[in-house]
Amino acid sequence: MTASSPSTVASDVCMSLQDVTISYGSFEAVKNVYMDLPKGKVTAFIGPSGCGKSTVLRALNRMNDLIPGCSLKGRVIFDQHDLYDKRVDPVEVRRRIGMVFQKPNPFPKSIYENIAFGARINGYKGDMDELVERSLRKAAVWDECKDKLKESGFSLSGGQQQRLCIARAIATEPEVILMDEPCSALDPISTLKIEETMHELKRSYTIMIVTHNMQQAVRVADMTAFFNAEAVEGGTGKVGYLVEFNETENIFNSPNQQSTLDYVSGRFG
């Protein structure tokens, strides 16, 4: 593969990371990641804290642009384009690759407006009421919200807020949804609901999810990437790298690497 022809990516690949290294200032947080994320599947990123899972995930829709000093080397191919090409507009990238964050972050607006905001920005011309309802239904939170659409998004519980944020991401109909530990701040029941939501969503979207919960990865993910971090000589901190990327079943039952086995069997981290 030559460096200047990103379009050689296989057609069932949604995003392709090619020798991606991400640094905060001079500190290299993750190094030399190669990964082909398949279309229409759920991919889970697992690994110990601080190994760079969030960093990689944020790189997929250029969210890292907003962190001063964060820079990326290598290429992230999406739809035949290097997302980090100078001509690419990060705002447009994010319109096609949505994101759900670790902490629920509804806007200080009504529930209805929380959904409508993104759709309007993306130039949605259809029936807004219908879109709001459809998105909330897909995110499995319609029943809890339908009577209080005019109330503030903050009036919902943490789990409901997170599903509202998922609904908000779905409403703009992105091709990919990135989720950074979407359940880490939630109780088990909300977590189950969100996992059900994900099963629904993977019919129409490609999903990448960072999770600390290995059962969750087993339950929702088709593919799993295991990241780890180790101290390098002369470095200022631990440098993250991709250890193994394979079908979830293989990662959990017959991993190729000893460290993966240690991690998934709980002997580690």
Partner 1 sequence: MSLSTPPPINHFTERLTLHYDPGLKRNRFNQVANAIAAFFAALAVVPLFLVLIYVLIQGGRLISLQLLTDLPPAPGLEGGGIGNAIIGTIVVTLIASLIAIPVGVGGGVYLSEYAQNGWFSKFVRFGNDVLAGVPSIISGVFVYSLIVATRVFFDQSFSAMAGGIALSVLMLPTVIKTTYEGLLLVPQEMRMGAYGVGASRFVTITQITLPAAFTPIATGVVLGIARAAGETAPLIFTALFSPFWPEGLFHPIATMSVLIFNFAIMPYEAQNELAWAASFVLVIMILGANLLARWISHASRS
Partner 2 sequence: MRSAPPIDAFTLRRRPPQEKLIDIGFRQLTLVLAASVGIILLAIFLTVFSGAREAMATFGFKFLTTSAWDPVNEQYGALIAIYGTLVTAILSLLIAIPIGLGTAIFITEDLLPSKLREAIGLMVELLAAIPSVVLGLWAIFVMEPAIRPFLNLLHTTLGWTPFFSTAPQGSGTAPAILILVVMVLPIITAISRDALNQVPIELRQGAYGVGTTRWGAIFNVILPAAVSSIMGGVMLSLGRAMGETMAVTMIIGNSLNFSVSLLAPGNTIASMLANQFGEADGIQVSALMYAAVVLMVLTFVVNVLAQWIVRRLSLRY
Ligand X SMILES: Nc1ncnc2c1ncn2[C@@H]1O[C@H](COP(=O)(O)OP(=O)(O)O)[C@@H](O)[C@H]1O
Binding residues vs partner 1 (CB under 8 A): 61, 63, 66, 68, 91-92, 94-96, 98-101, 103, 105-109, 117-118, 121-122, 165, 168-169, 171-172, 174
In the stretch 85-114, what mask flags binding to partner 2 with x, by CB under 8 A? Answer: --xxx-xx--xx------------------
Query: Biggest alpha carbon distance in the chain?
Result: 58
Contact 76, 84 (CB under 8 A): yes
Distance, CA of 114 to CA of 213 (rounded, Å): 28
User: Closest distance between partner 2 and the C-beta of residue 79, in Å?
Assistant: 5
User: Closest distance between partner 1 and the C-beta of residue 55, in Å?
Assistant: 14
Residue 87 interacts with which of partner 2, Mg ion, ligand X, none, CB < 5 to 8 Å by class:
partner 2
Distance of CA 1 to CAs 178, 197, 260, Å?
27, 38, 29
Number of residues binding to partner 2, judged by CB under 8 A? 15
Residue 159 vs 174, nearer CB to partner 1: 174
Residue 118 interacts with which of partner 1, Mg ion, partner 2, none, CB < 5 to 8 Å by class:
partner 1
Please report where in the chains the tokens 């309007």 appear, as a residue.
Answer: 120
Residue 169 interacts with which of partner 2, ligand X, partner 1, none, CB < 5 to 8 Å by class:
partner 1
Does residue 54 interact with Mg ion by CB under 5 A? yes
State the pairing for strand pair 70-78/223-231.
Answer: unpaired
- Kindly identify the residues of this chain, within the stretch 35-54, that bind ligand X according to CB under 6 A: 49-54
- Kindly identify the residues of this chain, within the stretch 58-87, that bind partner 2 according to CB under 8 A: 79-81, 87
Closest to 78 (Cα-Cα) out of 20, 22, 6: 6
Contact 179, 104 (CB under 8 A): no
Does residue 13 interact with partner 2 by CB under 8 A? no
Closest residue (Cβ) to Mg ion? 54
Summarize as ranges the residues that interact with partner 2 (CB under 8 A).
39-40, 79-81, 87-89, 91-92, 95-96, 122-123, 175
